[in-house]
Amino acid sequence: MSNKDLRMKAILLIFIVCFAFSNADDVVVNPKCNNKARLAKVEYWIDGANRGVFSALTAQFGPYPSLEKESSRLPAMITNPINGCSDLSSQLNQSVALSVRGDCEYTIKAKVAQAGGAAALVLINQEEDLADMSCGNNDTDLDITIPVVMIQKSDGDTLNKAFDSGKRVELQIYLFKRSVMDLSNTIIWLISVGTLIVASIWPDLAGREQNDERYNELSPKESSTAEDNSEKDILDINVVGAVVFVVAASAFLLLLYFFMSSWFIKVLIIMFCIGGVEGIYYCVSSLALSRRCRKAQKSFKLPLVGEVFIIHALVVVLGIAFAAFWFATRFESYSWIGQDILGICFMIRVLQMVRLPNIKVASVLLCCAFFYDIFFVFISAHIFKQSVMVAVATGQNSGGESIPMLLRVPRFYDPFAGYDLIGFGDILFPGLLVSFSYRYDKANKRGLINGYFFWLTIGYGIGLFVTYLALYLMEQGQPALLYLVPCTLGVVVILGLVRGELKDLWNCGSESDLLVERTGDA
């Protein structure tokens, strides 16, 4: 087996892994003690006058506060004792309890306030910060039914001054609702659509002759065989392969669900780095190098490899160094930049190597992916007692590591809510169809409006927006392909029917046929 074949199989394996995590942006909410810390607001009134809003952070246990329109304005009372660690001397009668942080676990304070009749608990931090409120090691009974939030020390001092002055304090606690499209998910949207467009038109960006050189650099004398060898880098998926692919992804996802561990996650991280290096090498070399300047390039010989151009070796070294740097700094706040660069390059590489020959195969692959997403996000929760996709994507039992097969952007104006994410599968699988539409338009000399590529790109962008809209409205994880598949596959089928070209799209030949047709037209 050649080194090229091994490389292609490695990339395909990583591709399957990417599909398995197509919904890594799902949110897990476990009312026992695995709630995601979310930003809340505490609006306050002093003697009936509205004085402003405090920022707060929710606990990992208990229910979330209601949204603003559904929440109530309630009187506030300071607990006695003020640390809220023991039975209260008086009933709170559906008031908001205020306690200070410290002296006992958060869950104990919540249970005491709940037993005292509180409708909610607000903890005042000892510092100008908001801390995660997790469960204690000995918490076996977490029947907490009131929302618990934390505010900063200065905000607590403001309320304490009002109480000391004998004034009446009222609070309204509600969950902070992000807009459908803010800066962070707008960037994710732009990156996703941009990656899909760039990957589709990559042969024209890099120059067709440059793609022929990718794996044929042992010797300048062998350039005459570049055209034939380049075709070996392309894998046209057939109907059987599409079904097998989804079955393999399902098996891999279940394998991870049952055997998830920290070492398994590290294996995935290493696979991600390998795919990222391959992507960087492919993208940089195909953009920077051309057949015209090949004769001017210097080369040297390596054992078992043969003659290698110096510039190619430098690109490989730089790619490995970049991936190694990301691996070493992957827990830093800026690591998302390196992860996104590696991921984008890898996806561009995959969409040049794996291709759909016609709409028939696309329909089988995307329909299987459609039901795969729905099953493992929604239906699996009724079989395995939790969503398999969510359990794997959130890295349960992974030792603190997270799965890297996704793009992420920090929520810039929401520092307590982490990152906006999108799995590689949510770009790659619709991207296969969009790339096919671009090649089909080129082969048939279609313009922007009377072709398919433009409309499928619009459809993908709309589908991704609808995904964010569903997340906004339903406040729970959504299978993105549930919306992306109809907005891409549905668009090409409808356009094909209207234009009377569906039969040609359905029975279109392999990629080589498209190239022959385009060459013949030329």
Catalytic positions, written as ranges: 373, 426
**50 DSSP β-pair partners:** 45
- Token digits for 491? 């668009």
Q: Is residue 402 within 8 Å of 335, Cβ to Cβ? A: no
Q: Is residue 388 within 8 Å of 153, Cβ to Cβ? A: no
- How far does CA 400 lie from the centroid of its chain? 17
**96 DSSP β-pair partners:** 76, 120
Helix (H) or strand (E) holding 301: strand 299-302
Q: Is residue 273 within 8 Å of 327, Cβ to Cβ? A: yes
- Token digits for 185? 């998910």
Cα separation of 234 and 497, whole Å?
29
- Token digits for 57? 């952070």
Q: Whose CA is closest to 289, among 306, 305, 312?
A: 312
- Token digits for 435? 């790339």
Q: Helices marked H in 224-309 — which ranges?
A: 226-230, 239-259, 262-288
Cα separation of 275 and 318, whole Å?
14
- How far does CA 107 lie from the centroid of its chain? 32
- The pair phi, psi for residue 280, each rounded to 5°, is -60, -45
Q: How far is CA 374 from CA 242, 378, 484, in A?
A: 18, 6, 12
Helix (H) or strand (E) holding 43: strand 39-46
Neighbours of 252 (CB within 10 A): 17
Q: Whose CA is closest to 168, among 55, 44, 72, 65?
A: 44
Helix (H, G, I), strand (E, B) or coil at 234: coil
Which residue is associated with the tokens 């505490």? 42
Q: Whose CA is closest to 285, among 207, 355, 362?
A: 207
Cα separation of 64 and 325, whole Å?
38
Type of residue numbered 96: V
Check residue 52 and give left, alpha or beta (phi > 0: left; psi -120 to 50: alpha).
left
Going by DSSP bridges, is the β-strand pair 299-302/406-410 parallel, antiparallel, or unpaired?
unpaired
Dihedral sign for Cα 128, 132, 133, 136, please.
negative
